[in-house]
Structure 1
Amino acid sequence: MSDILYEVDKRGVATVTLNRPHKHNAFDDVLIKELTGLFKRAGDDNQVRVLVLAANGKSFCAGADANWMKRMAGYSFEENVADARALATMLHTLNTLPKPTVAKVQGAAFGGAVGLIACCDMAIGSKMSKFCLSEVKLGLIPATIAPYVIDAIGKRIARRYFTTAEVFSARRARRLGLLSEAVTEEELDSTVEELIEQLLKNSPDAVSAAKQLIFDIADHKDDDEELMEKTSLRIATIRVSEQGQEGLSAFLEKRRPNWIQE
């Protein structure tokens, strides 16, 4: 049985499932490489409209695999840099995927797992899930995941949890912005499904463009005139696009646009 499962349903929903329940879905260099490839595959597949990141077993992900960490301890500086770059590449690939991404979280999410969750556009967690940025307990720092976690929860909160390595609850993760929603175990699947159904109602091109818009203007350094010009060009471009025209026509004609399956 593969340590990572990948499937795309007839609606275009790709599900990447961590499948090492006996190791609490801890990842190593091999899994990082496989995840990078699968994220790229989903991003390049025109049939894929949504990506769900899930896990089998009691835990979402325990972070780095103990055997991998044991090997890393013997790496040279140059080998450690290459190893870290591979992880950074995987996280960047997930974070910038041109499709909406949803993390479905149950159980423990420790260390690098928090980075995976932060890289997803939205995350639904079980109320019983637990979170921890545990790196400093091992004499390490959460370096490669830091940009995404800080973006999700903010600098002030990160300063606490990066340094204390406290375990915090799903309820707190929801308040901090790491989780979009915290629901009961029984509601986890249905809540993710409701989110998927909402995403599938929308223009795939517009969803991708909206996601890119956030990346491009969130920390803009343009003056007001430049920003207005850039955003005006973007809305004009998508209005005259094939899906923009279809969406506007469907609205005016009071029918479903052609990207919604009957």
Structure 2
Amino acid sequence: MNESLLLRPAAPGVWELVLNRPGCHNAFDDALIAAMIQQLDNAAHLLDLRLLVLRSTGRHFSAGADLAWMQRAAGYSRRQNLADAEQLALLLRRLDQFPGPTLALVQGAAYGGALGLVACCDLVVAAADARFCLSEVRLGLIPATIAPYVLRALGPRQARRYMLTAELIPAREAERLGLVHLLAEPGQSLDEAAAPLIRALLRNGPVALAAAKQLIREFAYRPINGPLIEDSARRIAELRAGAEAQEGIGAFLQKRPPAWEDEDVH
């Protein structure tokens, strides 16, 4: 069993993927990346999973890439180096396209590739003292594999600043920039801060949530034209005829909770 990464149930419908290398500030290497890819695949097939929470143990969310791993990779052949980088790219894609909602809970530092993981999650709650950094250029590197997700989260104008300066981004600024959705109050735990968001997510239809994620991913930045409008009509028509929508509409009209809503979710 790989104790550096844990996949565990946290509450009905909620599973946690936990980075568990506090001794090295949850820095990730090729082994942890491979384990995360495998566990994301496992989580995607859990029938009772309705929300995946990405979090870590210790003082810091993650320091990013393990420098010992990066130094080792420098000695790889070009083919080995490319294959290694492609694994991180695959991890980011799997997290970004995870079928259910994803929520990152961030404490302490989230540097380099860890900021990329955060940018891939649907929702982000950060501690008041959390800090973020695109630190790659300080090491003579670039944030290449995380760039598509960071650019989407920050926009190219802000990315120009933070990718080029490698400045620290305090939690409050990360919230203003849109990287973080919600900040915990001083003295408030991340679990307490995230609880209202989790309750809100668990009230919603699982099929609809997955379809909404796909809708955002495939509609963002597309021109509003005939094909897009036709596609939008097809999607709502198909969902409306489905069992989940019929249950949701029926529950609303009958003033009762839908079948997917746990009685404790209020």
TM-score band, normalised by the shorter chain? Answer: over 0.9
* Corresponding residue of 2:212: 210
TM-score (norm 1): 0.97
Amino acid aligned to 2:74: A
Structure 1: distance between partners of 2:165 and 2:249: 51
* Corresponding residue of 1:251: 252
Task: Classify the secondary structure of the residue corresponding to 1:186.
Answer: coil
* Corresponding residue of 2:49: 48
User: How far did residue 10 of structure 1 move?
Assistant: 5.0
Residues 128 and 185 in structure 1, CA contact (< 8 A), matched pair in contact too: no
Structure 2: distance between partners of 1:42 and 1:31: 16
Give the % identical residues. Answer: 49
Q: Gapped runs of 5+ residues in structure 2?
A: none
In the TM superposition, structure 1's runs of 4+ consecutive aligned residues that sit over 4 Å from their partners are: none
* Corresponding residue of 2:93: 92
Structure 2: distance between partners of 1:88 and 1:187: 31
Name the CA shift for 1:104/1:10 in 2 (closer, same or farther; >3 Å).
closer
* Corresponding residue of 1:65: 66
Task: Classify the secondary structure of the residue corresponding to 2:159.
Answer: helix
Structure 2: distance between partners of 1:191 and 1:245: 33
Residues 53 and 102 in structure 1, CA contact (< 8 A), matched pair in contact too: yes
Task: Classify the secondary structure of the residue corresponding to 2:81.
Answer: helix
User: How far did residue 200 of structure 1 move?
Assistant: 0.5
Structure 1 residue 135 corresponds to structure 2 residue 136: yes
Residues 55 and 105 in structure 2, CA contact (< 8 A), matched pair in contact too: yes
RMSD, aligned α-carbons? 1.2
User: How far did residue 9 of structure 1 move?
Assistant: 3.9
* Corresponding residue of 1:194: 196
**Aligned positions of 1:74-93 closer than 5 A:** 74-93=75-94
More moved, 175-184 vs 242-251: 175-184
Structure 1: distance between partners of 2:141 and 2:225: 42
Amino acid aligned to 2:9: V
User: How far did residue 120 of structure 1 move?
Assistant: 0.2
Structure 2: distance between partners of 1:75 and 1:68: 11
Residues 108 and 130 in structure 2, CA contact (< 8 A), matched pair in contact too: yes
TM-superposition CA deviations, 1:95-146 (whole Å, max 9, x none): 0001000000000110000000000001000110111100001110000000
Q: Gapped runs of 5+ residues in structure 1?
A: none
**Aligned positions of 1:113-192 closer than 5 A:** 113-183=114-184, 184-192=186-194
Q: How many residues align?
A: 261
